[in-house]
Structure 1
Amino acid sequence: MIDLPQTLPPIGIGEEAALALLGGAAMDRRADLAAPDVLAHMDPPSAEVAARMAYLVAQANQNLLHPATSPFATQAEALVLGWIVPTYGMAWGQFCSGSTLANLTALWAAREAGARKVVASAEAHISVPKAARILGMDYHAVPVGEEGKLIRDALPDLADAALVLTAGTTGRGAIDELSPLPAKWLHVDAAWAGPLQFTKYRDRLAGIAAADSIAISAHKWFFQPKGAALALFRNVDAKALITFTSSYLARPNSGVEGTRSAAALPLLATLLAWGQAGLAERIERCMAIAEDLAQRLDADPRTEVKQAPESGVLNWRPVQADPAAVIAALEGTSSAFTIGEGLWVRQVAANPHAEVDAIWSRIDAALAMGTAP
């Protein structure tokens, strides 16, 4: 721990000294998400071009609420949305500071359109029941099947429901069947797996264009700095449901947030630099890492794989070793996830720089530690 004052200092140490002190600690004591032996939760390393662009965005500190103070940033946001929105069969979209807000924004529109309850799978992201609570809507969790997908036969009446289907559950990466159902509003939480639409795995999102709204996290498989997501909508009329105005606004404000940063600029820079092919190559590399590890784990008598990774998320456990001990030994490259009453190792292929052999070496060492007397 670096030596920092525990109360606000009456006299500062100066900008360069503060940067040297804190910057060194921030980089030296970080979790290196791009390390070759790391598969860390759902946190990809930021694209370098995005990180550099984010620095310029912070320096300019433009507010997208007022186009006159952010002329190019406003133009850039419209451009990148124009690239992404039609790919999902949607009509319009907006940036949000994370998928929690994207889900809240979409479910707010659903409530204004007449939905009175939220229905989602038991393995839906925590932001979905949180949004229902905030919006004063009843929440119904639907059981999942063996592979973690929502059981459609267990659905309640959907006539007044905002049904949330998940494309890439947090725990297992499961993708619910996305074909339409007769709900008042159909929302797809595609925070994790949404970018598969730009890859050879797009068929795993078949049916997503029938959704009324979609949430996608840009700081996951779009490889952006934290605090960027998209809420997409199929009907342009939905915008009026979540729009407010005031005499001090240059234009009406849509969505939950007021002031917004120019989060579209780092994403625009990334997509401009990589193109669709470059984005797809990195996501497909992550998918290949997960598939390779799943095959190795499945073939190893020391381990059991829960299911094939559908969107780069692995669930496995040791057959004889203590799962908790193995998870502890894999700290920084795994987490724990409970399925039923069993504890499983969860690893997410979010790091395109990962090397399968390096990860396998850590798993092999962790299994040995877990069985040590």
Structure 2
Amino acid sequence: MSTVANWQQHFLRVGRGGASDYSQAMKACTAQITALFEQADAPYSGIDPAKLREWITGVELSTQSPSSLERMIEEVAALIAKHSIVVQHPHCIAHLHTPPLLAGIAADRFASAQNLSLDSWDQSGAATYVEQHVSNWLCRLFGYDAAADGVFTSGGTQGNIMGLLVARDWAVHRISGHDVQRDGLPDYHGRLRIIGSAKSHFTLRKAAAIMGLGQRAMVAVPSHADGTMKIEALEQTLDQLKQAGLIPFAIVGTAGTTDHGAIDDLAAIAEIAKRHQTWFHVDAAYGGALILSQNKHRLAGIEQADSLIVDFHKLWFQPIGCGAILLKDAKNFRHLLQRAEYLNRETDDLPNLVDKSISATRRFDALKVWMTARSVGVDALGSMVDHLLAQTQAVARLVAQQDELELLAAPHLTTILFRYAGAIGASAIDDFNRRLRTGLLKAGHAILGETTVDGKIALKMTILNPCLTMQDFVDLLDKVMRFARQLTEGSPSHTESSCETVSGAAHV
């Protein structure tokens, strides 16, 4: 039978000696993580996924003889961390998944150890004021005035859902005085429509489904070849919907589409939304960090948005997950407000941030942004973003110089869409590039993304690591082309071999 004394070793406790076990555990974790990063020579270990699954699922969780925490830390390092994706590796470049800044990692250590929850003041104390302060700073950064407010989210998906939920309830109340929170969807809810571009994030459809409107409520406006919304088509779509008796209640502009990195003409969309008395929401999960940089003019019009979202675990280099939603008029957070007598009583004279969120229990993620802004500095963050934008253009030129590779689109932010096109028949090229991506991944050579561009299967590089050099990309493209040649011969090798340097690298 366990005793209280035995249980105590598993907790971080107050008082003298209460943190000694914690300190030992963190030292052990630090040692293992240090060794992992110092020894990592590939973005994935190359272990066959089927074998890895067998190892993981073969671990007995309901053991009656638990191991020590020290032993578990060693096991996690050897079995899990070693065979997980190494985001920091130069050839891990598939997704909007950034290496986190040390300030953010340190903030996570505080957040995890204290285990604060940002739903109510009596579960957070100073943390509530930190989030409020950071949210107010963000509002000013994006050009909002004192009437604005914000709250942190888990990321873009939650942010888009919250923004469109507020937009729907705002529009319904404006149209008919109907209170959706109290009375449910109005009888005309089947006519409500969300407008975005053909390249908008899939979470717009998800939001429509979650809100009970159905995915058909999301109407996609055609995009230009570069991924930006066709403004003239937006005008036509609004007119057509209204003529059909439908109700477009929200227009979504995107500041950084997932594949192209395209930024819509936000100023033009804002003017149209205002003229049609429609809510204007901006998905700036990817491109919002431009507000820190010398390229912030590319976000012109974002200050006119009724709501906007930003992800800090993208180009703000924070640990997952960390995002925020900002509302131009803080009063519209009332559409999310629910009272609970045990949590956010109306009589409270201290702020309870659950008033503004669809989440209750919520991590202290604002500390990541606080510590980063103060220890790294917004000028340095902006310079990192500008560096990545310039580097992406240079890498795109490098891709275009290779006879075996085809650049499929000019990059806007930090994504490069391309494919291998050497010695492959037109009918087989899509399947070949699929196999090329998965082959590189499973062998542990490189982790590239995959998407579709104008009906063509594309490989994708998402450049989010400001520590990389052009030589890293020279090496990556060498690796991709070498593996592709082996694949065309029917014998891809999992071992490295020498090959010629990427042509033109010296000119980048």
User: If the length of structure 1 is used for normalisation, what is the TM-score?
Assistant: 0.94
SS at 2:286's partner residue? Answer: coil
| 8 Å CA contact 1:35, 1:353 repeated in 2 | no
SS at 1:237's partner residue? Answer: helix
The separation in 1 between residues aligned to 2:200 and 2:435, in whole angstroms, is: 27
| 8 Å CA contact 2:93, 2:449 repeated in 1 | no
Identity %: 25
Work out the number of aligned pairs and report it: 373
Higher mean alpha-carbon deviation, 356-365 vs 185-194, is at: 356-365
The separation in 2 between residues aligned to 1:285 and 1:31, in whole angstroms, is: 25
Per-residue deviation, residues 223-275 of structure 1 (Å, max 9, x unmatched):
11112110011112211122111211234622211111101112211111111
- Are 2:404 and 1:302 aligned? yes
Which of 472, 476, 479 aligns to 1:365? It is: 479
The separation in 2 between residues aligned to 1:249 and 1:229, in whole angstroms, is: 23
Per-residue deviation, residues 313-359 of structure 1 (Å, max 9, x unmatched):
11122332543354345534311111122111111111122222122
Per-residue deviation, residues 48-94 of structure 1 (Å, max 9, x unmatched):
12112201211100111121231121121122222222111231110
SS at 2:93's partner residue? Answer: coil
| 8 Å CA contact 1:33, 1:40 repeated in 2 | no
The separation in 1 between residues aligned to 2:362 and 2:437, in whole angstroms, is: 38
State the one-letter code of the partner of 2:150.
Answer: G
| 8 Å CA contact 1:38, 1:351 repeated in 2 | no
The separation in 2 between residues aligned to 1:323 and 1:364, in whole angstroms, is: 16
The separation in 2 between residues aligned to 1:330 and 1:207, in whole angstroms, is: 41
| 8 Å CA contact 1:103, 1:131 repeated in 2 | yes
| 8 Å CA contact 2:159, 2:323 repeated in 1 | yes
Task: Kindly indicate which of the two structures has a greater share of residues assigned to strand.
Answer: 1
Per-residue deviation, residues 4-29 of structure 1 (Å, max 9, x unmatched):
53452133213222222114434322
- Are 2:412 and 1:336 aligned? no
Q: Which runs of 5+ in 2 are unaligned?
A: 1-51, 173-191, 242-246, 345-351, 425-431, 490-508
| 8 Å CA contact 1:293, 1:356 repeated in 2 | yes
Which of 293, 300, 322 aligns to 1:199? It is: 293
| 8 Å CA contact 1:35, 1:354 repeated in 2 | no
Higher mean alpha-carbon deviation, 184-193 vs 331-340, is at: 331-340
Higher mean alpha-carbon deviation, 106-115 vs 13-22, is at: 13-22
Greater Rg over alpha carbons, structure: 2
Which of 293, 300, 317 aligns to 2:419? It is: 317
Which of 136, 143, 150 aligns to 2:212? It is: 136
Superposed CA RMSD in Å reads 2.0
- Are 2:162 and 1:119 aligned? no
Aligned to 2:155: 98
Q: Which runs of 5+ in 1 are unaligned?
A: none
CA gap 1:233/1:246 in 2 versus in 1, 3 angstroms: same
Aligned to 1:30: 84
Higher mean alpha-carbon deviation, 298-307 vs 194-203, is at: 298-307
State the one-letter code of the partner of 1:129.
Answer: R
1:1-373 aligned at under 5 Å gives the runs 1=52, 5-90=59-144, 91-114=148-171, 116-137=192-213, 138-155=217-234, 156-157=237-238, 160-179=248-267, 180=270, 181-182=272-273, 183=276, 184-250=278-344, 251=352, 253-320=355-422, 321=424, 322-328=432-438, 330-331=440-441, 332-371=446-485, 372-373=488-489
CA gap 1:366/1:297 in 2 versus in 1, 3 angstroms: same
SS at 2:362's partner residue? Answer: coil
CA gap 1:34/1:288 in 2 versus in 1, 3 angstroms: farther
The separation in 2 between residues aligned to 1:40 and 1:79, in whole angstroms, is: 34
The separation in 1 between residues aligned to 2:319 and 2:99, in whole angstroms, is: 8
Per-residue deviation, residues 183-221 of structure 1 (Å, max 9, x unmatched):
511111111011111001111111111111111111111
Higher mean alpha-carbon deviation, 315-324 vs 178-187, is at: 315-324
Aligned to 2:500: none
